[in-house]
Amino acid sequence: MSALTVQRSSVPVVPTDQASTVVQLIALVGRSLRTTARVPQLLMFSLTMPLAMLVLFSQVFRSVEAAPDFPAGVAYIDFITPAMLAVATVMAGTNVGVAAAIDHTNGLHDRFRTLAMPRALPGIARTINEVLFTIARAVLLVGAAALLLGFRFHGDALDAASALVVLVALAGAMSALFGRIGDHLRRPDVVQFAGMMLMMPLMFVSSAFAPLDTMPRWMRVLANGNPVSHATDALRGAVLGTSTGGDVLTAALAAAVMWAVVVAVPARRR
């Protein structure tokens, strides 16, 4: 009896709740990645659409370069590329909302509620999935812009790291926003339209495509409260080598405030 007691006491005690939560999160992230990979068309468009838009906007709006309020000595391709990083992150957020709606349509969330796991875990897994694809899109977009359009990164390694922090923060905020929309609307087609209606002002009422000084006063007021504007300014500063810690902090805080507001919205109950 004593030998058996000693043998049992030698087995390490693992905190089951924490361990199971980590295992569940890894499984959900793996599921999100596999689900995305199983639709190669969606994967291809989500990675290449920002590049197509970069080519289009860099040619159509390049006359903005001649405006008196445009930064002196800055090529428009260097001005627009960091903006497209932010815009692509906003656009991809709708995929999170659609994925959440599909999970509700398939009854997967109902099954999740029967499991002993935190209710926020599926949303966290979708956010991690989106962060990984945000980094992949950024590498593809910057590489293609440098090879095909003459884009140049004027910053240093610290600027590149700060840009990555801003992108990750923005991706988290957009994932939370569109994911909550998907959780509330629960129809993929409706989520797509709702996401488009929200995505357009986030993209265009910002400093992404033109300096704020060229906009009407009322639009400047809205743009100054837009997290995409702050993310764009911080990314642009990193690209041009003029970024400051204040720019990065402001962008990260703006994204964090959006995330906190979205998370504070009560989840829809059946």
Instruction: Output the average pLDDT for the chain.
Output: 82
pLDDT of 86 reads 93
- Top mean pLDDT of 30-34, 46-50, 172-176 is at 172-176
pTM tops 0.85, yes or no: no
Residue-wise pLDDT tens digits, 122-173: 888 888 888 888 898 899 899 999 998 889 999 899 999 999 999 999 999 9
pLDDT computed for residue 19 by the predictor: 66
- Which residue in the block uniquely carries the two structure tokens 């995330």? 259
Q: pLDDT at position 268, please?
A: 65
- Indicate the pLDDT class of residue 18, thresholds 50, 70 and 90: low
